[in-house]
Structure 1
Amino acid sequence: MSPVTKNILIHEDAKPLIPLRAGLSALGIQLLPAAEMAQLSDTRQVLGYFACFYRSLSRPAAAWLRHRQLARAGIPIVTWNRDAPHYLNYPAWRLTLASKLRLTDIYATHTLIDADKYGFAPTTLYLANAVEPATYSPPEPVSGLFPRLRDESTYAVDVSFFGGMNGQAYKEDADRAEFFSALSKRLTEEKISHVFRETGDMTPSQQIAFILSSKINLNYGARCEYKARIASGLPERCFGIPGVGGFLLCDKRTHSRDDFDIGKNWAEYDGIDDCVTKIKYWLAHFQSARDIAEQCQQHVMRQHTYQHRAARLVNALIAWHDSRPALNVNT
């Protein structure tokens, strides 16, 4: 008898699944809502169960029972946390409990900064954010775009940033608001033009136009790092900005070296003084900045789309099944 193809992923409609949907479908994975799981005639077709990490934190008893039931059926539970190390402000006792109970089999996360503190699953999978080419890609063929972006006269501003900066409304934005306020004063003194703004209701096409109107696009901080001891995971803009052809100057992050090559397809700074220094350097060496931007754009599209993340997740689930003896669960 030929083996049953495992091509069904049960899911709880968790938010982190959204960017993976197209990539999973392209791989031939059928997404089935958890509410419809009882209708399956053969659970051997199930590749895995995509759970909501924070729903499991909120309901540990139910998550523990589900894990036991699915384990008997030979179905691994996977979750993807994109909000560490702040964990949406969940209390430490819930994180500790989830770590002790191990409510999932594969814990995918955009940062490994807490890997030595929490062990939410037997397998921890580094799964970074990425770019969705259907939404975020160069507005024209790079054969024409790249030469145009080397012409400094086409830019409206030297330096820019868009993102959450309302520190009064959101405590997670307070540090970023303070940073850009101080940086604005420094750049004004240096007569370097800049625009720092809230994302607001900008559409993807407006965001892309904004990125490509600035010689240097900055990243600083992330809401999920509120009170974190060190910057670690890469926000989506770290893939989106270079993905559309913009030059990104990013704050120093532990995972930068996992996904990029510093000096070849990545530029970073460490603190506000270094940020000003690097801005002045890259403005003075703009063609070198464009070399990095072009290398990074190609690198992102080759290795850092959500289709790549979907494939990595599927491979982790396949490896889980391959490491275990087959179960006769439908007799």
Structure 2
Amino acid sequence: MYNTNNKILKWYHLNKRDLPWRQTSDPYKIWLSEVMLQQTQVETVIPYYEKWLNKYPTVQSVALENIDNLLKIWEGLGYYSRCRNFHKATQDIMHNYHGVIPNQIELFKRLMGVGDYIAGAVMSIAFNQTHIALDGNHRRVVARVLGIKNQTHQNLKRIKTYLKKLVWEGNPGDINQALMDMGSTICRPSNVACDNCPFHLSCKAFQSGIPTAYPQKVAKKEIPTKKMVAALVFHEDTILISKRPLNGLLGGLWELPNIEIVNGEKPEELIETTLEDQYGFHINVGDKLGAINHTFTHFKMKVSLYNCKIKNDPLSRDKAKWVAFSDINQYAFSKANHKLFQLVELRND
């Protein structure tokens, strides 16, 4: 494996991507980058990473911050549980580890949101420890090298064993990052560039003549579509927004009141009855402002937005707030809600 390790490192030093988190050995910054990169493209992450570090340069600065302000910085990056978990993990570090990120993998994995991949990546890159970081890119590269087609538990063990041998030969952080770059730039799911690969002569998938057939793709399940209705509720010069519970999808974000249409209810009646039940006020439902489509990981949704006006004085609620439309940028909303706001802006143009 020594020669293979050297070939990978040589390729990496010639071809590695110039990324901001590769200019540091600070475990906090490396950890932050790995959290942000989960299920998110590198190009999307870079500006968020830089903006975050400008405001929160240390573990302590995150731990002491209000979650609402952190979610506002995270706004648009998606998968908001990552932000909430990162916040809780930094508080854990301040309370239980004297503000120092633990450099033992089992202790690090006890932190909220830290799984095998993030733990292996941070321990190998920041602390030069011989741990593998196994994600989809690593899995695909090694599966092709070994000629693995079927994604079985036994074959996953073979992939892990191969990776462990590689990192044990030295420079584990660079090896993990090199395999990540290979999977992102040359050993892609399709449109491969085998001629520029250090495994070129030994890769069984390449030798087969159809490298993209390895490993076999798992058929994706068709995801359901939910029909939703949202209300733009006016009271004088303000609109009603509510805050989602911290636990669950989009936890801690603000949103326009919305309801799922389950049994074919009329949108206008559903809005009236739901808002009366939740907030205790009566509204007039006006015209439909438009509809948006949005896709989450496990479902799609089509949301119709209705213009509404309150009839009576609103009651105060902890999780609801009346704000001027011009002030909505002070609060963290999901991308779906920003699409709804665009409908309002288009109507007002």
TM-score of the pair, normalised by structure 2: 0.24
Answer with 1 or 2: which has the greater Rg.
2
Q: Given the two structures, how large is their TM-score scaled by the length of structure 1? A: 0.25
